Amino acid sequence: MNLFIKKIIFTSLILLFFIYTIVVYTIGTSNDAGLNLLNEQSKKGKLLFQKYNCIACHQLYGLGGYMGPDLTNIISQKNKGPIYAKAFLSNGTVRMPNYELKENEMNELIAYLDYLDKTGVSPVKYFNINYSGTISQHKK
Ligand code: HEC
């Protein structure tokens, strides 16, 4: 192989490296649909979720404590939803503490649960394997 061809291969590899890097750092990280859904109310709910340490007993996206159920999709689950969730928040149960939450705190927590529901699925039962090898999940 003569030097000219080697130089062409070398330069195109360098070029491809830069194009790939630019694509990964720009497009590759820009499709977080969840960020747009995190509004003021759900942000406050997230802080409350952390303050009351709900994760000690509950899982989000499958991770957390295992005393209570996973809360990722509680808002869209059959026979559950915002009113159902509110009942637990306002009364607690034998095993779940009653935090004496104010009305707006409950609504903020529910807004956060709604945000979680729109951004993920847990457990992942139904998914497609994309041409690029990545996996996209869906509820059914
Ligand atoms: C000490 C453990 C514990 C903590 C902390 C806790 N929970 Fe729970 N939670 C439970 C348990 C256990 C259940 C299931 C009902 C039962 O068995 O009493 C539950 C049920 C729920 C449910 C209904 C879930 C379903 O699918 O039926 C919701 C919603 C909920 N909790 C939200 C929260 C939120 C929000 C927080 C934080 C403010 C929280 N929990 C903190 C233990 C806990």
Distance of CA 100 to the CA centre of its chain: 27
* 110 CB near ligand 1 (under 6 Å): no
- Choose between 56 and 139: higher pLDDT: 56
Distance from the alpha carbon of residue 19 to the mean position of ligand 1, in angstroms:
47
C-alpha dihedral, 53 to 56 to 60 to 64, nearest 10°: 140
pLDDT at 94: 96
Give the distance (Å) from ligand 1 centre to CA of residue 127.
Answer: 28
**Per-residue pLDDT tens over the stretch 84-98:** 999 999 999 999 999
What are the tens digits of pLDDT across the range 103-126?
999 999 999 999 999 888 888 888
User: Is the CB–ligand 1 distance for residue 61 below 6 Å?
Assistant: no
139: CA distance to ligand 1 center in Å? 22
Extents of the domains making up the chain: 1-31, 35-126
Which of the following CATH numbers is that of domain 35-126: 1.10.760.10, 3.20.20.10, 1.10.645.10, 3.40.50.280? 1.10.760.10
Q: Is the CB of 78 under 6 A from ligand 1?
A: no
Is 78 a residue whose pLDDT tops 80?
yes
Taking the centre of ligand 1 as the mean of its atom positions, its distance from the CA of residue 98, in whole angstroms, is 10
60 CB within 6 A, ligand 1: no
Which residues have CB under 8 Å from 7's CB, separation 6+?
none
Could you read off the pLDDT of 16-68 as tens digits, one per residue? 999 999 988 887 666 666 777 789 999 999 999 999 999 999 999 999 999 99
Distances (CA, A) of 42 to 16, 50, 58, 107: 41, 12, 18, 9
Q: Is the pLDDT of residue 134 over 80?
A: yes
Length of the chain: 140
pLDDT of residue 40: 94
Sign of CA dihedral 8, 9, 12, 18: negative
For residues 105 and 133, which has the higher predicted lDDT (pLDDT)?
105
Query: Residue 14 pLDDT > 70, yes or no?
Result: yes
